[in-house]
């Protein structure tokens, strides 16, 4: 419940801000083009609050449904227009001017993303070093000779600063299906080159890293109980938040991953945990639950959130901070990288190479908004930049009812010298509404599946 108390306000702030930015792009360019604007609304539906500009006569609204917004312009297709106002109607403008007005929304979202990333680089991008854990023997990483503790410092001579850089870089190269050249720093400090063949890896990000066998390195650290689930094996055994788990049946546990794997391999079994609590060592017997895993096999479940002492991860933390001038090209490059990757992933979804499960809806976005807001300003601003890029790319899709569909119509009109017939435009709008409804349904379906685990 407390998570949603953070997620809902963060979601409303994020969506409200990004929609306001998007619609302001349309609003600003329309007014500069001499088009009469009637209303600027954040949200759809009935007005919750608003006012009317004294000199402009423009209505400024906050509306009931905070999932979008719109700029209403004078248009003869939507109602009668006085003869004196016809030169200021949107439909009377040259196609090039209408294209500029429509393109301004996504364009301002891209500019917002650049500004947000610029601020993030100024504040400092926190992350974890791109060090990898032990890879399974049959994985591509193990076959290429990568070892636990190796730090990947470059992909094809492109510098890697943190784990997010590594993830995005490999997803991008995985879509290409080419071999990549990694520069790897060992724990002794020497640097070597490792070739990684990505020609046979799945393009889907959900499967890519499993096939590669790459996961973040976990420094040796005694796992501890970060939280206990009510009415679980852990709570019934008397385990408490803060207990440090030293061993399971006498086998030492030096990482959270080792503990998780040991628990999962013992469904329904009675094990003895050796824990340290308030300076005392206790032996606590626990009968593990048995649940069905993702692969259908039974696995053990303790019913506790496993963590480590934060001090153990200090050596893994890294921060990239740039000055005002250096942050500008970095922000532009980051926006371009995220935009290009978003377009490529969408294209692979259409061809079926990337799972539609990657589509997220309002519930998942709200969840991410709450998580990043709870982390801090840098994380939340970075989240805003990412969603702003996604909003821009989505709106540029050539689907009627979206900005991209209008851009397609006006471009065709400009080329052929006359607009498409009203019947064709209406049919396109209907197809666009169906496509958008299907996309929204898919997004909500994915969100619900994630909630259900």
* Backbone torsion region of residue 245, taken as left when φ is above 0, otherwise alpha when ψ lies between -120 and 50, otherwise beta: beta
Angle between helices 2-32 and 377-395 in degrees, nearest 10:
50
Chain Cα centroid distance, residue 317: 21
164 is catalytic: no
**395 contacts 404 by C-beta, under 8 angstroms:** yes
Q: How far apart are CA 220 and CA 436, in angstroms?
A: 48
Q: How far apart are CA 186 and CA 109, in angstroms?
A: 41
Please provide residue 29's backbone torsions phi and psi, each rounded to the nearest 5 degrees: -70, -40
The candidate with the shortest Cα–Cα distance to 63, out of 78, 48, 77, is 48
- Give me the residues paired with residue 247 across strands: 252, 274
Residue 190 host element (H or E): none
Dump strand ranges (E) for 116-190.
125-128, 151-155, 158-159, 179-185
**400 contacts 409 by C-beta, under 8 angstroms:** yes
Please provide residue 132's backbone torsions phi and psi, each rounded to the nearest 5 degrees: -110, 150
The candidate with the shortest Cα–Cα distance to 20, out of 48, 62, 58, 64, is 62
Q: How many CB atoms lie within 10 A of CB 14?
A: 22
For residue 413, give the DSSP letter: H
Joined together, the tokens standing for residue 423 give 């019947």
Q: Give 266's contacts (C-beta < 8 A, 6+ positions apart).
A: 288, 300
Q: How many CB atoms lie within 10 A of CB 139?
A: 18
Q: How far apart are CA 76 and CA 298, in angstroms?
A: 65
**416 contacts 452 by C-beta, under 8 angstroms:** no
Active site residues: 23
């Amino acid at each position: 419940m407390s998570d949603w108390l953070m997620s809902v306000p963060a979601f409303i702030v994020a969506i409200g801000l990004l929609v306001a930015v998007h619609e302001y792009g349309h609003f600003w360019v329309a007014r500069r083009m001499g088009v009469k604007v009637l209303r600027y609304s954040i949200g759809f539906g009935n007005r919750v609050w608003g006012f009317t500009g004294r000199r402009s006569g423009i209505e400024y609204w906050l509306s009931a449904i905070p999932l979008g917004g719109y700029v209403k312009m004078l248009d003869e297709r939507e109602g009668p227009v006085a003869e004196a106002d016809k030169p200021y109607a949107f439909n009377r403008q040259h196609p090039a001017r209408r294209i500029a007005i429509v393109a301004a929304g996504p364009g301002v979202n891209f500019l917002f993303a650049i500004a947000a990333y610029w601020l993030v680089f100024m504040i400092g991008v926190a992350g974890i070093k791109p060090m990898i854990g032990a890879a399974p023997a049959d994985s591509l990483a193990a076959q290429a000779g990568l070892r636990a503790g190796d730090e990947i410092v470059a992909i094809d001579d492109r510098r890697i600063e943190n784990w997010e850089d590594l993830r995005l870089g490999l997803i991008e190269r995985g879509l290409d299906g080419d071999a990549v050249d990694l520069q790897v720093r060992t724990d002794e400090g020497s640097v070597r080159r490792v070739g990684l063949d990505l020609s046979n890896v799945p393009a889907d990000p959900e499967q890519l890293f499993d096939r590669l066998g790459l996961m973040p390195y976990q420094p040796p650290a005694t796992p501890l109980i970060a939280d206990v689930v009510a009415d679980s094996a852990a709570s019934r055994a008397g385990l408490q938040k803060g207990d440090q788990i030293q061993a399971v049946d006498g086998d030492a546990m030096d990482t959270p991953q080792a503990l998780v794997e040991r628990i999962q391999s013992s469904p329904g079994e009675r094990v003895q945990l050796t824990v340290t609590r308030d300076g005392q060592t206790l032996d606590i017997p626990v009968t593990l639950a048995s649940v069905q895993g993702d692969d259908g096999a039974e696995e053990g479940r303790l019913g506790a959130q496993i963590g480590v002492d934060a001090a153990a991860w200090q050596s893994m933390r890294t921060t990239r901070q740039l000055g005002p001038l250096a942050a500008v090209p970095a922000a532009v490059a980051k926006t371009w990288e995220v935009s290009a990757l978003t377009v490529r992933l969408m294209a692979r979804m259409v061809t079926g190479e990337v799972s539609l499960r990657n589509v997220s809806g309002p519930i998942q976005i709200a969840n991410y908004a709450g998580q990043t807001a709870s982390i801090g300003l840098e994380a939340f601003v970075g989240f805003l930049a990412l969603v702003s890029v996604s909003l821009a790319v989505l709106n540029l899709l050539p689907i009627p009812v979206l900005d991209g569909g209008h851009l397609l119509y006006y471009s065709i009109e400009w080329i052929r010298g006359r607009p498409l017939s009203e019947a064709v435009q209406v049919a396109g709008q209907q197809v666009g509404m169906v496509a958008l409804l299907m996309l929204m349904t898919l997004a909500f379906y994915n969100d619900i599946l994630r909630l259900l685990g």
